[in-house]
Structure 1
Amino acid sequence: MASSQGTIVLTGANGGLGSAIVTNLLKKPELAAYTGVYTVRKAATATALKRVLDAGPASHKHDIVDLDLSSLVSVRETAAEINRRVAAGDLPPIRALILNAAYQDHEELDLGTTMFLTSCFNIDDKRNTIGGEPYKGRTTLFPSVEELAKGTWSTPKDGDGWWTGFRRYGASKLCAVMLMHELANRIGTDPDLSNITVVGLDPGAMSSDLTRRGGSSMHFNIKVMLPIIAYLAVKFSPNGAMRPLWKSAGDVVRLCFDVDAPKGKLLYLNGTDEFETAKEARNAANRKSLWDYGVVAAGIKQGDTVLTNWQ
């Protein structure tokens, strides 16, 4: 039988923020006592995560699990295996599920999955105009579920350079926030699951591999300039637009374990500050259309989930 305080499941654990979250967890003995299930695209090449684990306490129980977030088959198989292990007592009950993973492609159109550690992109947020005007002439990041799912909106063919990819990324983040709202509402009215809280976090702009296919100038700005700027900026504005990885990782862990989140309602933070999500994310009709489309696209059927109000 498994023995620890509980299990922490973290997706995208080999990325910049993911490995920083693991570093933060292992620095706290009370959290290192949890069992970690760290998902990565390929365990054999998860070098950043392995370096962090090797430097942490040897007593920390953990598994590195292959998970391709762009594949619904892989997501379903991995979730089913984790559920099976918890039910069998091989893993302690899940205490925190940290859905962290993202990818931003400015040059090509690749469809994938974005999880719940997300930025609050919206048309009216002035933070998105720091480097230009990506939404100029546009009034929405949610044209329709079909357009976003099929990749027919804001494509490289629009001739707007790398802003097309920025807008697609923003739309995916908006959808993630919409799903957070919808999930929080549905869990809150579920008689068996209402003790579960749903939280979201905007970690700010960080130096990671998020834009690794964005060109040499973008790589220089993200990997060289941003860490310097973020190091200075966070001293004056802890929850400003640019933040070091260690700051955002600490915010993630704090939100999971130190903040009393309301039940039945999404708590969304920008760093450590409570933040109102975008107007489009709060649109109940759009949220339901996105939820309904996701249920069909994922092939979810009766018996696949314990959530009562899943349809």
Structure 2
Amino acid sequence: MQSTIVMTGASRGIGRAAAERILRAAPDVHLLAVARGSSGARLVAELGSGGYAVSHVEADLGSLESVRSAAAEIRDRLDRGELPPLRGFVGNAGMQYTNALTEGPERFECTFAINVLANHLFVRLLQDRFAAPARIVITASDTHFGDFRHNLGMVPGPAWQSPDVLARTGAFRKPRTTVAGRTAYSTSKLAAIYLVHEYARRLPAGIDAVAFNPGFVPGTDLARNAGPASRFAVRRILPLMTLTPFATSRRAAGRCLADVVLGATEAPTGAYVDRGRVARSSDESYAPQRERELWDAAERLTSPHASGSGRAGQAGPPWTQTSTRRTTTPRPPRRR
């Protein structure tokens, strides 16, 4: 069955490995990569060399206006019949900064903008173009647990606050420090799970939303904004941990992500998939009131960029009104 899958973060690391596996496992898929600058054209040339259908749209995920423009282009291409039906969105791109003060063009803190708001804007602007059955997959992280068992003490746990506070710079103690930057990252990944729970409640039947945890994957470019010593450790030393049970290789994590996207890993909407199986996320991640508050804030913060998503003179999908609400609420799986 021919289909389009839109994917962010496909240029490197887990995303690149997942993109390669998706194309090999499902040759009828048209993979549309959302990429920044020249990386999109390069990715198309490399992945498309095997005869696969690959294209790209350019976007800076730190800019909601850039995300809006990319989503509008995708909608137009779908409407013109240039792309097969849209059946997947993979919000895999993520960023971690060495502080909690990095600000984007709309004055949002960049970790929150990229890891939370950009995904939400894509989902909402593409929502009425999905053809059921469709699956939305948002990459989460072990760091949202905030304990030694899940991140070996390398990243502080999340420090939840009002979403309006989290969306701005300086939300955490000593915001100029690496600790604050890493706290912003773990908190953004908790937020991603909250939104997946809300998508499961609000999106129409046939459009499922799943959070995917790749585990600890050393050697990616997630910490590319860190200092030289940290980058060296992440790229050269920590990858040795993939020889132990404490870490996952990029190829293995990419394979797991691809299987979730393609439905080879079965998961109900609202589920948290830990590598290759449905699992329970942290106790803190099941919080309906926080989830509703985050949804409301994400709607409000991204709404200025929702208009003009279609062709000239056409409105985008309804923004102030949500889709028919599902009656079921995501529930954590029982502990084994």
TM-score of Structure 1 vs Structure 2, range by shorter chain: 0.7 to 0.9
The code of the aligned residue for 2:85 comes to P
The structural deviation recorded for 1:27 is 3.1
Asked if the contact 1:122–1:141 (Cα under 8 Å) also holds between the matched residues in 2, the reply is no
Q: Does the alignment pair 1:201 with 2:212?
A: yes
The structural deviation recorded for 1:51 is 6.5
Which residue of structure 1 lines up, in the alignment, with residue 74 of structure 2? 82
The code of the aligned residue for 2:255 comes to G
Q: Of 146, 165, 185, which residue of structure 1 is paired with 2:164?
A: 146
The code of the aligned residue for 1:281 comes to S
Q: CA RMSD in A?
A: 2.5
For 2:151 and 2:280, locate their aligned partners in 1 and report how far apart those are by CA, in whole Å: 19
TM-score, length of structure 2 as denominator length: 0.76
Which residue of structure 1 lines up, in the alignment, with residue 3 of structure 2? 6
Asked if the contact 2:30–2:53 (Cα under 8 Å) also holds between the matched residues in 1, the reply is yes
Which residue of structure 1 lines up, in the alignment, with residue 139 of structure 2? 117
Which residue of structure 2 lines up, in the alignment, with residue 267 of structure 1? 271
Query: Per the alignment, in what secondary structure is the counterpart of residue 79 of structure 1?
Result: helix
The aligned length equals 282
5+ residue gaps, structure 1, are 188-192
Query: Per the alignment, in what secondary structure is the counterpart of residue 184 of structure 2?
Result: helix
The code of the aligned residue for 2:196 comes to M
TM-score, length of structure 1 as denominator length: 0.82
The code of the aligned residue for 2:198 comes to E
Query: Per the alignment, in what secondary structure is the counterpart of residue 92 of structure 2?
Result: coil
1:228-243 equivalences under 5 Å are: 228-230=240-242, 232-233=243-244, 237=245, 241-243=246-248
Which residue of structure 1 lines up, in the alignment, with residue 199 of structure 2? 183
Which residue of structure 1 lines up, in the alignment, with residue 32 of structure 2? 37
5+ residue gaps, structure 2, are 103-108, 120-137, 308-314, 326-336
Residues 125-178 of structure 1 show CA distances to partners (whole Å, capped at 9, x for unaligned) of 33355145735xxxx6212112201123225447xx421111010011111111
Which residue of structure 2 lines up, in the alignment, with residue 190 of structure 1? none
For 1:96 and 1:129, locate their aligned partners in 2 and report how far apart those are by CA, in whole Å: 29
Asked if the contact 1:120–1:278 (Cα under 8 Å) also holds between the matched residues in 2, the reply is no
The structural deviation recorded for 1:221 is 1.6
Runs of 4+ in 1 over 4 A off after TM superposition: 155-158, 300-303
Q: Percent identity?
A: 26
Q: Which moved more, 1:167-176 or 1:126-135?
A: 126-135
The structural deviation recorded for 1:287 is 0.8
Q: Of 181, 184, 203, which residue of structure 2 is paired with 1:165?
A: 181
Which residue of structure 2 lines up, in the alignment, with residue 251 of structure 1? 256
**Inter-CA distance 124–208: structure 2 relative to 1 (3 Å threshold):** closer
